[in-house]
Amino acid sequence: MPTLNQSYVSKGSWRSDLFKGKVVFVTGGAGTICKVQTEALVLLGANAAIVGRNKEKTDAAAKDIASLRPDAKVISLPNIDVRDVNSLVTAVNKTVEELGRIDFVIAGAAGNFLSDFNHLSSNAFKSVVAIDLLGSFNTIKACFEQLRKNKGAIIFVSATLHYYGVPFQIHVGAAKAGVDALSNALAVELGPLGIRSNCLAPGPIDNTEGLQRLAKGTKDQMAANIPLQRLGTTEDIADATVYLFSPAASYVTGDVLVVDGGSWHVGNLGNRDYPVNIIKALDAPGSKL
C-alpha cells in the first residue's frame, strides 16, 4: 500500500498540479524512502519510472504509486543494476519511449549492512561503494542528455553517517561522502546548462528499513536523543523532495538538505555501549581479505 494519499495534497503545502507534465526517474524506487519521494511527486502531477533490481518489488511499487492519481503513468523498470551504466541506458530509453521525457532524477539505490572494520571484507566494502557511489554516477551519466534537454534537477539520497564517526558503517559513510562530493561537482559543472544537483540526507526516519537496521533502543529512547524530540516521518522526506524539485528551490544547487530533526549535531549520544561492542568485534576473528 502507498504511504501517502490524497490528503497529502488537500491538507498539504503544495498545489496539486505543481509537477504536471514532469517525469521523474527513480533508482531504488521500491525502497521505503525513494518510494514515498515518488508518491509525493506523482500526487502533485508527475509521472514516474521506478527502477530496481527485484522485479516483484519494483512492479509492486510502481502499481502502488500509480493508484494515487487517476491519470498517473508510472512504469516499472526491474532487473536494472545501477553498477552497469548500459543497464541504466536501457532504462532511460524505455522511460523516454513510454513517458516522453525525464525532468527529475532521484539517485537512491543503495546497499547497507552492519559490519565492523575487522569483519568487513574488501569485496564487501567495494560492493557498497559500487552501488551507492558508482551507481549514482552511472544514473546521472545515463540521464544526462534528458537533463540537459529539459534543464532538469537531481536529488541524490545521501546520509549523515560521514559527518562524524559511526561504527559499523565505514563502508556506507565512505560511499555517501563520495555521493556528496559528486553532487557538489555536478552542481558546478552542470549549472551553466540549467541543471541543479542537490543531496537529501535523511536522519532517523520512522517505519523505514534503515531505522530497523540501525536502531538502538526503543523509539522513545531514540527520540529523546533528537533535538526535536521525535523521529522523522516519510512525509518529512516527501516535503523536502518536493521543495528541492519545485520552483521554490530554483536557486538552490550544490546543497545538502539534512532532514533529521537536528540529530546529527548530537552525534552518537544514543550509543551507550560504545566502546564495548567495538572492542568485542575487533577481538573476534576477522574476515578474509
**CATH code for the domain in which residue 168 is found:** 3.40.50.720
Does residue 101 have a pLDDT over 80? Answer: yes
* pLDDT score for 263: 87
Structural domain for 204, as ranges = 15-283
Question: Which residues have CB under 8 Å from 42's CB, separation 6+?
Answer: 48, 65, 66, 68, 69, 72, 74
Active site residues: 158, 176
Does residue 27 fall inside a structural domain? yes
| Choice between 247 and 268, residue whose per-residue pLDDT is larger | 247
**Quick check: is 140 in a domain?**
yes
Count of domains forming the chain: 1
Assess if residue 10 is contained within a domain.
Answer: no
Q: Which residue has the cell 516483484?
A: 56
177 within a domain of the structure (yes/no): yes
Q: What is the per-residue pLDDT for 215? A: 63
User: What pLDDT does residue 255 have?
Assistant: 98
Would 82 be classed as within a structural domain? yes
Handedness of CA 56, 61, 66, 67 (dihedral sign): positive
Within a domain: residue 5?
no
Provide the percentage of residues in the chain whose pLDDT is more than 70.
93
What residue spans of the chain are helical by DSSP H? 7-10, 32-43, 55-66, 85-99, 122-129, 135-150, 170-190, 209-214, 219-224, 234-245, 276-283
Say if 289 falls within a structural domain. no
Q: Examine residue 6 and state whether it is found in any structural domain, yes or no.
A: no
12-21, 57-66, 72-81, 278-287: the lowest-pLDDT one: 278-287
pLDDT tens digits for range 232-241: 899 999 999 9
Instruction: Give the pLDDT score at 164.
Output: 87
pTM of the model: 0.91
Q: Decide if pLDDT at 38 tops 60.
A: yes
